[in-house]
Amino acid sequence: SKTTPKRKETAEGDVLGIRISHADRLLFSDPDITKIDLARYYGVIADRMLPFAARHPASILRCPQGPDHQCFYQKHAGEGFPDEIHQVPIEESDGDVANYLYVDDAEGLVAAVQMGTIEFHIWGSTIDRLDAADRLVFDLDPDPSVTFETVKTAAVDLRETLEAIGLKSVAMVSGGKGIHVIVPLSRKAAWEDAKAFAKALSARIADQDPDHYIATMSKAKRKGRIFIDWLRNERGATAVAPYSLRARKGGPVATPVTWEELTGLDAANSFHIPDILGRIEDGNDPWAEAGDWKQSITKAMLKAAGAE
Ligand code: ATP
Ligand code: MN
Ligand code: MN
C-alpha cells in the first residue's frame, strides 16, 4: 500500500538557487519567521528594496545563531563570503584601504541571509560615486519618555521646514522607535554640503524649540526631547535600508510610508513581513512619486539652512 510521505525535516532549503542552511531555524516568533522565511522575504522584496540599497556600501547586522544570541555589525567582507556579496575597495579616513561589502541583486540579499544577516544598513552614496550623497537622512531619535504622536508631529514639521527650503521628503518608520525623514537627491551632493546642510538645519530647529529638540548626541540632554540625528549624513555613515527587517522583538520592518498614512500609525515598529507582502500585492508603493523628483542641495538652500 501507498504510504504517506513523511514530512521532510528540512535542514536545508534553496532560495533563488542559494543554499540556505538551518532553514528551519526560528528567528522570530509570533509571527514565526524562520531563516528560510527571511531569505524568501528578501528575495521577494528585492525589487522594492534594491533601488535604494543596491550598490551602496552596506553594513550587515549578522546574528548567526538568531537574534536572541550574539549579533554584530559587519562592513568588511570576511573570509568565506560568497560571490553574491560583492566587495569594493574604499579608502578610510586613516588612509588605509579596506574592502567594503555591497549587494546589487536579490541573490546578494539572500546570500547575506544565509550568512546570518537580519538587517541591512547602507551608506548614502553608491560605489561609483562614494564622495556624494544620493539622499539625506534625518533620523528622529526620541527619548523613551517622548510619545510616538510627538515624533510624528516632529517628522511632519521637519517635512514642512524642508519644503519651505525647496526640498521634498519621504517618511520611513524605522522598525524601532523613531522615524527617518529622507530627502532623495537626484543630483548628488558632496558630503561636505550634505553634512553642513543637515547639521545646520538640525541645529536651527533645536535652537528654535529647545524644549522639544536637541541636535547633539548627549543622552543626558535628550531627556524628554527628540534628538535630530543628522550624523547619518557623512561619508561612511549608514542608516537602516528601507524594507530591512530589524533584529528586534517580533521582527518589525523598516517601512516606507506616505505622509498621509503616517498620521494614522501607532508606532514605528508596527509593520511585519505579512503587512509588507500585502502592500506589495496591493501595488502599494508609498514612495512611488519620489522617483520623479529632481532635486539637489543648492547654495541658496545651504544659506537658508544657516550653513552659509
Ligand atoms: P530607532 O528608530 O530605534 O532609532 P534606528 O535604525 O534609527 O532605529 P539608531 O540607533 O538611531 O537606530 O541608528 C541610526 C542608524 O545608525 C542605524 O540605522 C544604523 O545604520 C546606524 N548605526 C547605529 N549604531 C550603529 C553601530 N553600532 N554600527 C553600525 N551602524 C550603526
Ligand atoms: Mn534612529
Ligand atoms: Mn540615531
Report pLDDT for 79.
82
Q: How many whole angstroms separate alpha carbon 180 and alpha carbon 255?
A: 10
Report pLDDT for 2.
44
Q: Which ligand is nearest to the CA of 238?
A: 1
Whether 213 and 198 have beta carbons less than 8 Å apart is answered as: no
- Band (7; pLDDT cuts 50, 70, 90): very low
Domain extents in the chain: 12-122, 131-236+246-308
Ligand 1 within 6 A of CB of 238: yes
CA-to-CA separations, 115 to 56, 62, 83, 243, in angstroms, rounded: 19, 7, 12, 19
Please identify, by atom number, the ligand 1 atom nearest to the C-alpha of residue 141.
4
- Residues with CB under 5 Å of ion ligand 3 are 139, 141, 229
- For residue 240, the CA-to-ligand 1 centroid distance in Å is 7
- For residue 18, the CA-to-ligand 2 centroid distance in Å is 32
Q: How many whole angstroms separate alpha carbon 145 and alpha carbon 98?
A: 40
> Architecture of domain 131-236+246-308 in CATH?
Alpha-Beta Complex (3.90)
Q: CB neighbours of 86 closer than 8 A, spacing ≥ 6? A: 101, 102, 103, 104, 108
Please identify, by atom number, the ligand 1 atom nearest to the C-alpha of residue 180.
7
Angle between helix 35-53 and helix 273-281 axes, rounded to 10 deg: 60
- Mutate which of 52, 61, 73 for ligand 1? The one with the most ligand atoms within 8 Å of its CB, which is 73
Write out the CATH class of domain 12-122.
alpha beta
* ipTM of the shown complex: 0.95
Average pLDDT over residues 244-258: 98
Entry pTM: 0.95
At residue 5, does pLDDT exceed 60?
no
Ligand 1 within 6 A of CB of 124: no
Q: What is the pLDDT of residues 181-198, one digit of tens each?
A: 999 999 899 999 999 999
Q: How many whole angstroms separate alpha carbon 140 and alpha carbon 226?
A: 6
At residue 44, does pLDDT exceed 50?
yes
Report pLDDT for 11.
67
At residue 9, does pLDDT exceed 90?
no
Please write down the long-range contacts of 151-156, taking CB distance under 8 Å and 24 or more positions apart.
Answer: 151/177, 151/178, 151/179, 151/226, 151/268, 152/179, 152/262, 152/263, 152/265, 154/179, 154/212, 154/213, 154/226, 155/179, 155/181, 155/262, 156/259, 156/262, 156/263
